[in-house]
Amino acid sequence: MPLYGAIEAGGTKFVCLVGTGPENVRGRVRFPTTTPEETLSRAAAFFQQADEPLLALGIGCFGPVDLNPDSPTYGYITSTPKPGWQNVDVVGYFQKTLGVPVAFDTDVNAAALGEHLWGAAQDVRTFVYITVGTGIGGGAMVEGRLIHGLIHPEMGHMRIPHREEEDPFPGICPYHGDCLEGLASGPALAARWQEEPHRLPADHPAWDLEARYLGLAIANLVCTLSPERIILGGGVMHQTHLFPRIRHVVRETLAGYVQHPALLDHIDQYIVPPALGDDAGIFGALALAIQVTRSA
Ligand code: ZN
């Protein structure tokens, strides 16, 4: 049986997997993201040891990345603040070392594709996948296609109302201060409350504030993309008590203007966790590999 390779390339860790889907995983490894040289060669070595030759490799990558196939820097990580990783040719490296077709997208677009193929978005063609963890990112599929557009969506950096009299925390985004990621990512929670987020009890005021910021962002996405579903993954969303609070904020923010049963009677099936859980990203990368061989 032909096998595919997948990489979830994150700023703190890499996950590599060989298989054909969630039901057939032949090998899997994770290791910390260090220098590009060390990290990429470790990934390549893992795939070179696979039992069967790979048909293709899919990579869901932290960014920003260049997704324009006509660009001379296609497949590069571009302007990331992560030291040493600016202008790294990720796709070129694996094409050279493995000699197989390489599919490349953002980590969150990959996760969206994984959820579309095997998870919580199998029955819809327009939806958003958002991860809330060390950063906040969003991927989107519209009418069955992942959005790239100008560069790729950077939903984590959208601006949302920040009432400084209620929340004087200035935010931690090095570019914008109090953008969504600056206010509501895991590190923002830790900095605001001086506590690791997973140690904050469910009745801590941190969570109502968190739900408000995420709910406002999602209401904006409902108004701009008209998604048929919103999937919320990432470490912060392990706090499952956030889901009902976020749904409440979304409904309140939309104030009855966007009328659809999904937002009224069925909002608990509209704003949902990823069915693949923390594996949405790695299986999404695998889905990218499968997709590239189908389109070839
Ligand atoms: Zn920002």
What residue ranges do the domains of the chain occupy?
A: 3-106+278-294, 120-273
Question: What is the average pLDDT across 122-135?
Answer: 97
**Ligand 1 centre distance from Cα of residue 2 (Å):** 41
**Ligand 1 centre distance from Cα of residue 157 (Å):** 4
Q: Using 50, 70 and 90 to split pLDDT, how confident is the model at 174?
A: very high
**Ligand 1 centre distance from Cα of residue 49 (Å):** 40
Per-chain residues with Cβ under 5 A from ion ligand 1: 157, 173, 175-176, 179
**Ligand 1 centre distance from Cα of residue 237 (Å):** 20
**Ligand 1 centre distance from Cα of residue 15 (Å):** 26
Task: Say whether pLDDT at 76 is over 90.
Answer: yes
Write down the pLDDT at residue 204.
Answer: 98
Same fold: 3-106+278-294 with 120-273: yes
Question: What is the average pLDDT across 102-106?
Answer: 98
CATH 3.30.420.40 fits 3-106+278-294, yes or no: yes
**Ligand 1 centre distance from Cα of residue 165 (Å):** 21
**Ligand 1 centre distance from Cα of residue 177 (Å):** 6
Bridge partner residues of 17 (DSSP): 6, 28
Task: Say whether pLDDT at 1 is over 80.
Answer: no
Q: Percentage of the chain surpassing pLDDT 70?
A: 100
**Residue 171 CA: distances (Å) to CA of 84, 175, 182, 216, 278:** 25, 10, 4, 16, 26
> Which among 79, 76, 80 has a CA at the least distance from the CA of 89?
76
**Ligand 1 centre distance from Cα of residue 171 (Å):** 9
Question: What is the average pLDDT across 87-106?
Answer: 97
The 10 Å CB-count burial string (b at 16+, else e) for 116-134 is bbbbbbeebebbbbbbbbb
* DSSP code, position 197: G
Write down the pLDDT at residue 296.
Answer: 63
Angle, CA 125 vertex, CA 260 and CA 290 arms, to 5°? 160
Q: Decide which of 3.30.930.10, 3.10.20.740, 3.40.1410.10, 3.30.420.40 is the CATH code for 120-273.
A: 3.30.420.40
| Alpha carbon distance 182, 203 (integer Å) | 22
| Whole-structure pTM value | 0.96
